[in-house]
Structure 1
Amino acid sequence: MAVPAHVAIIMDGNGRWAASRGLPRVAGHREGARAVRRAVEAAIRSGVSWLTIYAFSSENWRRPLGEVLDLTGLLRRYLRTEIAELKANGVRLRFIGDRTRFDRDIQGDLAAAEHDTQRNIRLNLTIALSYGGRAEIAAAARAVVAAALAGQLDPAKLCEEVFEGFLATAGTPDPDLIIRTSGEQRLSNFLLWQSAYAELVFLDVLWPDFNETHFAAALSTYAARERRFGARTG
């Protein structure tokens, strides 16, 4: 079975999972953090080399203050309790998004996690935090303009490959497969440039219930598809 080199996941359904059980939303986010561990373990066992998860979008800052504090608190806990195990399992961590919006202690933890796992090669795990695809593309465009004004880039030589070097995901292959849970069928501003030719799989399972069986099912769906990258066949 063909295994995608890079899988990206839009983790959706934490709030609905909690509501269906009469629990506060933070309970869904806590269980969702456990599902992240299951996804990482499934990716490693499946031979996936790159895994990107959409943990906190730039739009999430608009949620009620209490929920934002719950989410950032869970992020703190994750960074301080999971990194040692990720490092031991050969996982290299990388974060994309506007980390300046987080408190300084979290920014420090993010940098430390990247530094402490930088030599790992078993799985490249990218976590999108305070991330938005449109904002990423706009930031890359600003960087291109700055490089051109500084004489470091000839605008006439700007191509897709050069532009990709200005994105937050520079050095990361485009996702082969994007999974979204909860039954919703949209990208929600996630990896808009990078998803141009990704296969999309939408699962009718809430993220806190996501497990290795669901991961395997998505990989099986991917393996059954014919990837054409815009070329005609037949």
Structure 2
Amino acid sequence: MKKTAIITGASRGIGKAIAEALAKEGYHLALFCHKNKDLLQNLAEALSNEYHIQVYTYCGDIADSDFTIASCKDALEKLGQVDVLVNNAGKASIGLLTDMSVDDWDSMIGTNLSPLFYTSKVVVPAMVSKKSGNIINISSMWGTVGASCEVAYSATKGGVNSFTKALAKELAPNGISVNAIACGVVDTDMNSQLSPEEKSELAEEIPAGKFCLPEEIAQVVLSIINAPSYMTGQIIGVDGGYI
């Protein structure tokens, strides 16, 4: 039986790991990225060749509603259905709130929060029509407790969590699950601004004693997909015991 998924922010890091995990399970994929067109295309070709699946790629600004909505509609048409939507695309920024420009604030909201609305607006009607589906939003532990010098990032991820809980209540009667993964420190390019010494010090603060691997988040995604639809509206912490 055909299985399909849309994944945003899929060219590297967590999104790439999720794409690889779902491809291994036989999912046909629609993968989105912002600028890494070559990386995304190489990933798509590798997954298609290895797992004999269909993979469609879309490169553009996820914060652009016209691009995201049109691309999701095209992906839905090509895939025929969407069983899983993974909203993973995001960006981070470290610095004092008073040093942040209005444009930077708007960009953070536009990248981290608004796309959940754009993608869901397209995908939800198709899921409702077949009375099943999984929407998984990649969030952060800072969306739960907030982080100093990451006010905008924390605010967007807090919004992701509230979006998740509210949409879950809206879609539960239709058998559709909506959950979020509140990631801790994951070993991706998002943390590339940290020096080796800073990474080592940060790892020591985490009870698990290490950064999370993108592949571990991908395994949690698979666990959510395989869980009963009764598990919905949950913010699942994967932070090594950090908070």
User: In terms of Rg, which structure is larger?
Assistant: 1
TM-score by length of 1: 0.39
Q: Larger relative contact order (C-alpha < 8 A, sep ≥ 6)?
A: 1
